[in-house]
Amino acid sequence: MTITAAADGSALGNPGPAGWAWYIDDDRWAAGGWKHGTNNMGELKAVLELFRATEHTGEDLLVLCDSQYVINSVTKWMPGWKAKGWRKGDGKPVMNLDLLQELDDAIRGRTYRFEWVKGHVGHVLNEAADARARAAAAAYQRGTEVPTGPGFGAPTASPVRVTVPDDRAASLFELEEVGEPELHEVSLQLTDEEFARLTRRARREGRSPEELLRGLI
């Protein structure tokens, strides 16, 4: 199964009050923004948050995007920028570095493709994302509540159980006596987003989520 979603950004004044949004359908969309930002920031953030929101699904992702800047950044330019220490061919630093690095991390291990769509020509998904991005930017301009949307769905808790030796458990649970080493089970409830972040970090370190948590304990 492939999730098809549109992602868009908007900046009033560019730079100015800015918004971002991704849209799948009326039950699955999200938006946000900043008091001051650029259109490119909004475009990148929309795609970034779409990848984050759908990571737990394990599904392929088709991103409908009207920004050639975003599509080229991800599919063409990013490898070269990384090889040059996140600098362009002329040696100048890459713009929007923080968002690009977060996006580079978010797409790792995902199966996805981008499809360019022309903006403001009546494409249903693109228009829906654009309207929500502009609404977020307008809310920041007015200083009113930002319509953030329902997201992908209510997060569910993912149990992570970590088994630790008794000598460590003593410090955790203040046991008065420590005999022969035993194993104690610790149960931790994480939201899908928290579990996804844990999994990404463990993957980068070449460990399982359980091993990473055990090391932190």
3-class SS of residue 4: strand
One-letter identity of residue 7: A
Angle between helices 209-216 and 192-204 (to 10 degrees): 90
- Read off the tokens for 29: 């969309």
Q: How far apart are CA 5 and CA 129, in angstroms?
A: 9
Angle between helices 124-142 and 39-54 (to 10 degrees): 120
Distances in Å between the Cα of 182 and the Cα atoms of 48, 106, 164, 209 are 43, 38, 8, 21
Buried b (16+ CB within 10 A) or exposed e, 116-147: ebeeeeebebbbbbbebbbbbbbbbbeeeebb
One-letter identity of residue 213: L
List active site positions.
8-9, 43, 66, 120, 130
